Structure 1
């Protein structure tokens, strides 16, 4: 399974904001530059994150965006589900419907795999996933 660029960017934005913590404002154009994406794409993602309550935004001279306390505790799988929009892995009924769709079990198997993917991400909160990795100290024998 592959996440859309929209979801990928959404997760990167919340991770970047989580590092700074709630209340610390960041500008969308600065985030776009740091994450090497277009400003237009980042503003669409930020608008969705605001609608989800993961991020707050303030306009004006001292405005910007910041992660909310709810956003920090949000499960990564749930956030990915919300950003992805609930689509299926394959589109069996699209413009050119699959002739095998009536008796096929692949669609159900892929739906189960997709849910397993999200469930595995649900073990992490945004705050946990944004925390720097701790590398064990290597002891050297003298």
Structure 2
């Protein structure tokens, strides 16, 4: 049996980035940062941020406008989106363990571990379902996000 995730609680980088992008946009106010600016503020490669932003846009959680006056904005759907739903979408519906891989597990026909791990994974997702993006940026997180995402203040 080959373990796919190191832990049930360990998220893929794209899931982590998606949540951080949504949180950053939830506190953006009137500003509309670009994907490049968000990537720089989060210290992640632009290509990774662009891929995540495209998926979030496809899901209707944010809007991305190009050109002068463009940028990223959180939609109403994005603000009220369930963190559990977002995590499920980005993590996919794969099993925690790969029992069917190139070398199938010899216990596959009678193993009870796979089901137990699947139930634990679903319990993890379910515990995040009632939490929204708006919830996770409430004080003290929102003001803290704003303070770290502004970058250094220019000298006069």
TM-score using structure 2 length: 0.81
Structure 2 counterparts to residues 100-139 of structure 1, below 5 A: 100-133=107-140
* CA distance in structure 2 between the aligned counterparts of 1:24 and 1:93, rounded to whole angstroms: 48
1:3 correspondence with 2:11? yes
Q: Which structure 2 segments of 5+ residues have no match?
A: 1-7, 142-156
Alignment partner, residue 138 of structure 1: none
1:62 correspondence with 2:34? no
1:93 correspondence with 2:100? yes
Q: Secondary structure at the match of 2:97?
A: coil
Moved over 4 A (4+): none
CA RMSD of aligned residues (A): 1.4
Count, aligned residues:
133
Deviation of 1:83 (Å): 1.2
1:84 correspondence with 2:86? no
Q: Which structure 1 segments of 5+ residues have no match?
A: 135-142
* CA distance in structure 2 between the aligned counterparts of 1:25 and 1:108, rounded to whole angstroms: 44
Alignment partner, residue 43 of structure 1: 50
